[in-house]
Amino acid sequence: MKPKRCQNWWWGVVAVWVLGGLASSLSAQQPLTQLVSQVHPKVVKIYGAGGFRGLEHYQSGILISPEGHVLTVWSYVLDTDNLIVHLADGRRVEAQLLGADPRLEMALLKLPGEGYPHFKLEPVVLEPGAWVLALSNLYGVAVFDEPVSVQHGVVAARVPLRARRGAYDTPYRGPVYILDAIVNNPGAAGGALVDRHGRLVGMIGKELRNSLTNTWVNYAIPIDRLLPTIEQIRQGRYVPPKPEESSQVRNPVTLELLGIVLVPDVLPRTPPFVEEVRPGSPADRAGVLPDDLILFVNDQHLIQSCQALRQQLQKIPRGETIKLTVMRGQELRELVIKTQ
Amino acid sequence: MVLVSGGLATGWAEDVPPQVLQDQQRRIEVIRRARAATIAIFGPGGRGGGSGVIISPDGYALSNFHVTSGAGVAMKCGLPDGNIYDAVIVGVDPTGDVSLIKLLGREDFPTVPLGDSDQVEVGQWCFAVGNPFLLATDFQPTVTFGIISGVHRYQYPAGTLLEYADCIQTDAAINPGNSGGPLFNMQGELIGINGRGSFEKRGRVNVGVGYAISINQIKNFLGYLRSGRIVDHAELGATVGTDPDGRVVVTDILESSDAYRRGLRYGDELVEFAGRRITSTNAYKNILGTLPRGWRVPLVFRRQEEQWTVLVRLQGAHRPGELQQRLQRRRRPGPNPGPQKPNDHHSPKLPPVVAKHYEARPGFANYYFNRLEQKRVQKLLDKLGHFSPSSRWAFAGEIPGGLKAQVVLETDRVQLILPGGTTSLEINQEEPNLTQQLSPPGSGGLVQALYLWRRLLCQRIEHFGGMYYWGTVPLPGHPGLVDCLVGLHGGVETRVYVHPQDGRILALEMFADDQSDPCEIYFDDYRRVQGRLIPHRWEVHYGDDVYQVFKWTQVEIQQR
């Protein structure tokens, strides 16, 4: 009976992992608790917007540079001017949002000062069966100097989430680590997945429910997928824009020209939601719809307010074709507007 | 299981280092012993249920209050050996979600050793044993394995009494039904009682976040639970908060609290509590949540540049009778008495063996066990010798400065002779009232306290007057915990602290009312007098002061 033999072999492999993992850690328990204490200070608690109607106002973050760069998930929690980070030593500092890429569901924060404990960024890729620890502030159980929670698990697979097309409500389209530990809890998003050497291998993603089976997936976004964007955002922070780029062009594009009316700009940072699209306008022809949230113009920095959008448009001369990235419901759309 | 052993037989075991196989064998053995003492608890008629663990050969077992409260007085406990035993409630801690029960019918139950949960570290392996989803209809418990995810966690009361302070967090699967069951370290020592998970939108199943009540908290309460009482947690009598500088400060304080009398005031910074540092309000709540009502613990606080260390008596987290009232409210069957309808205390349906081990009394989960503890402590006190109720006790010696002092204790009379004068107390044996004329002045009522001391030794616990076993408590200057008796006689409350091995009375306190300091007598230098053990050194404290130190050189007990 061939299939059965196959199963036998597979179980053997599982047993080797499990026994190997257990035994080495049992006989040498100190290194595991030591590993935890090494990585604990590199994971932070983030407090921002939310706190009502089942929306937690907290999430987790990962320190990735001595200058206080914090990798986390892009979410409504970051949508505030008062972003507070609790460090493992109990310090509370204000964080600044450097940039975000909603397609990777990631954001980069910057803390003031330097000398932070941090993970080294390296393109580590894990194979299925690899043993991992997940560190996050799930359920917000830890505050101030209390260490974040630690869970253990095994990488079950590295697969694209879209393998179940339409089942998961996420703009992320790349591969994920599927885990056998229940790591994606409220507040856990942005936490660190580390391997047994304490290396950062992934970022715990937001809670995702499979709408077909009503089950929850446990996953992390592999660090190798995030590295290029992290680097871009960091460089964007440190390389000041060239003078000609920041200066206005002679004949810039305007919202009126495109036929877009935004929601009233009443907040310090009103999200650039489309209120109305003038019929027959370039925006209308490109398929822009009311309630679209404008995220990017020509793939530049994330646009965080109506004002930022207007400033961005001032850099684009009339007659150019504009690529607009919008969020429609849970979906990201790229629309091309011809201004001529 | 079959598949794995098949794999072993076909040869890959040769590649496994012997150390790994040895460790595995050791783990199997540890888990075997841990399983043997884990019980499945069922309510009357097999309804409800959860888990528990046996901690003494005579059948004392720990579980969650929320597991046993559904069952009421009597429950059935299944052991992995396939036997089912009747069990009776002993004591409950509704706030801490702990209950102590006793399995009946054996003196050689399998047990597990208690560990030290303060030594538990994050990242350490652990395993939970229990009855998840009430699967153990054959009493075979389920073992789940994980790591310690967090320690010293504080979980706010979830809309009920139950507060989880200083608890252990694990990713070992804790599901409904695991409640009351044990969490072990890899040495097979009990480090916690699993009782709570973060169950939210995914339904009532494990989400990798389980919480266990630390065994060190339970050790604090174990003596209280054995007393058969409904026990209460502690309050300082003050509320605390974090100020803008991150210091934990007093935001409000009751003037009637002992903390206030010891000098704690609004705005003072709390530095240390019960020997642990306070770094956040969570840290404070963690410490407070592990302490029983009535304990006296050190508190370090700071005001400007000055720092004080004081001993504070902790008041109850609930008003007298409040817990009992709340529990009765829970017990009252609702409009829809479902399968959880608890057993009526006075129901004649108690199994005969349980009925023999049960006695109802207000304020107690089961007064039978208080009697048991009273008998045990009386046996200890009997080691001091026999004191006839009509005996006359005469003490002569000196106080500091070489001055002469004398004390005479009789059935209805106390006389204290000091260089400054003589204090006498006559007690009306028909209507004793000790609340009047606490004397000598500045002692808080030394003559009254001495009368009560003699009364306990002569009348014994049984006839002292309203005396019961309180539990085990810390005593200043004494390592470990000591037995404590509480009595109500003559309108005052007496607390007597007894050495848990040799029965020496280490201290006696007399509280004339519950809002002022007691008179405290510390007894020491026990020597034999006519075959009886009598303390020859008494140190009398009142409030923050030492009132007097007596050293007796001549002691006479005249039996009449």
Kindly provide the ipTM of the predicted complex, given to two decimals. Answer: 0.83
Per the residue annotation, which of B69, B117, B149, B179 is the catalytic one?
Answer: B179
Dihedral sign computed on CA atoms, order B165, B167, B169, B170: negative
Residue A183 has what pLDDT?
Answer: 93
Cα–Cα distance, A194 to A201 (Å, whole number)? 5
B478-491 tens-digit pLDDT: 999 999 999 999 99
Among B123-127, B156-160, B448-452, B524-528, name the one with the lowest average pLDDT.
B156-160
Q: Are A83 and A97 in contact (CB under 8 A)?
A: yes
At B410 the three-state DSSP class reads: strand
Residue B369 has what pLDDT?
Answer: 98
Q: Are B173 and B129 in contact (CB under 8 A)?
A: no
Phi, psi angles (nearest 5°) of residue B80 = -60, -20
| CB-based contact A12 B146, cutoff 8 Å | no
Mean pLDDT across chain B: 90
Q: What are the structure tokens assigned to B540, written together?
A: 């009398």
| CB-based contact A26 B27, cutoff 8 Å | yes
Q: Is B125 on the interface with A (CB under 8 A)?
A: yes
Cα–Cα distance, B198 to B97 (Å, whole number)? 16
| CB-based contact B123 A90, cutoff 8 Å | no
Whether residue B294 is predicted with pLDDT greater than 50 in this model: the reply is yes
Residue B12 has what pLDDT?
Answer: 56
Q: Shortest CA distance to B427 belongs to which of B456, B448, B442, B444?
A: B448
Q: C-alpha distances in angstroms, A206 versus A69, A183, B81? A: 20, 10, 45
Q: What are the structure tokens assigned to B203, written together?
A: 């339904």
B425-469 tens-digit pLDDT: 999 888 888 888 898 999 999 999 999 999 999 999 999 999 999
At B231 the three-state DSSP class reads: coil
In the predicted model, what is the mean pLDDT of residues B187-213? Answer: 86
In the predicted model, what is the mean pLDDT of residues B344-350? Answer: 58
**Nearest-by-Cβ selection for A182 from B19, B150, B207:** B207
Residue A340 has what pLDDT?
Answer: 67
| CB-based contact B16 A19, cutoff 8 Å | yes
Identify the band that residue B284 occupies on the pLDDT scale cut at 50, 70 and 90: very high
Q: Which domains does chain A have, with CATH numbers?
A: 16-236 (2.40.10.120), 245-338 (2.30.42.10)
Strand order in the sheet with A293-297: A293-297, A321-328, A331-338
Q: How far is B333 from chain A (nearest CA, A)?
A: 33
Between B50 and B333, name the one with better pLDDT.
B50
Query: Which contiguous run of DSSP H or E holds residue B469?
Result: strand B468-475
Residue B189 has what pLDDT?
Answer: 98
Interface test mutation site (partner B, options A141, A196, A206, max chain B beta carbons within 10 A): A141
**What's the gap between Cα B307 and its chain centre?**
30
Among A46-60, B227-241, B256-270, name the one with the lowest average pLDDT.
A46-60
> What is the full per-residue pLDDT of chain A (340 aa) written as tens digits?
333 333 444 444 444 444 444 444 444 444 789 999 999 999 999 999 887 766 889 999 999 999 999 999 999 899 888 999 999 998 999 999 999 888 889 999 999 999 999 999 999 999 999 999 999 999 988 988 899 999 999 999 999 876 555 667 788 888 999 999 999 999 999 999 999 999 999 999 999 888 777 788 999 999 999 999 999 888 875 333 334 444 457 788 888 889 999 988 887 778 899 999 999 899 999 999 999 999 888 877 788 888 888 888 888 888 888 888 998 988 888 899 987 6
Residue B340 has what pLDDT?
Answer: 40
Identify the band that residue B45 occupies on the pLDDT scale cut at 50, 70 and 90: confident
Per the residue annotation, which of B66, B152, B489, B541 is the catalytic one?
Answer: B66
Tell which A residues from 164 to 183 touch B, by Cβ distance under 8 Å.
Answer: 181-183
Strands A200-204 and A192-195, bridge-based pairing: antiparallel
Q: C-alpha distances in angstroms, A56 versus A137, A178, B148? A: 12, 24, 24
Q: Which domains does chain B have, with CATH numbers?
A: 2-27 (no CATH), 234-316 (2.30.42.10), 380-558 (2.50.20)
Between A163 and B182, name the one with better pLDDT.
B182
Give the CA-trace dihedral at A7, A8, A11, A15, to 10 degrees. Answer: -170
Which distant-in-sequence residues (6+ apart) come within 8 Å of A3 by Cβ? none
HEC states along chain A?
A: CHHHHHHHHHHHHHHHHHHHHHHHHHHCHHHHHHHHHHHHHHEEEEECCCCECCECCEEEEEECCCCCEEEEECCHHHCCCCEEEECCCCCEEEEEEEEEECCCCEEEEECCCCCCCCCCCCCCCCCCCCEEEEEECHHHCCCCCCCCEEEEEEEEEEEEHHHCCCCCCCCCCCEEEEECCCCCCCCCCCCEEEECCCCEEEEECCCEEECCCCEEECEEEEHHHHHHHHHHHHHHHHCCCCHHHHCCCCCECCHHHHCEEECCCCCCCCCCEEEEECCCCHHHHHCCCCCCEEEEECCCCCCCCHHHHHHHHCCCECCCEEEEEEEECCEEEEEEEECC
Q: What percent of chain B has pLDDT over 70?
A: 92
Strands A208-210 and A215-217, bridge-based pairing: antiparallel
Between B343 and A133, name the one with better pLDDT.
A133
Whether residue B76 is predicted with pLDDT greater than 60 in this model: the reply is yes
Q: How many CB pairs under 8 A join A and B?
A: 127
DSSP B241: E
**Does the annotation mark B318 as catalytic?**
no
Q: Shortest CA distance to B409 belongs to which of B371, B373, B455, B459?
A: B455
Residue A154 has what pLDDT?
Answer: 96
B129-159 tens-digit pLDDT: 999 888 777 889 999 999 999 999 987 765 5
Query: B440 preceded by cis ω (within 30°)?
Result: yes
Cα–Cα distance, A122 to A49 (Å, whole number)? 31
Residue A17 has what pLDDT?
Answer: 44
Q: Is A144 on the interface with B (CB under 8 A)?
A: yes
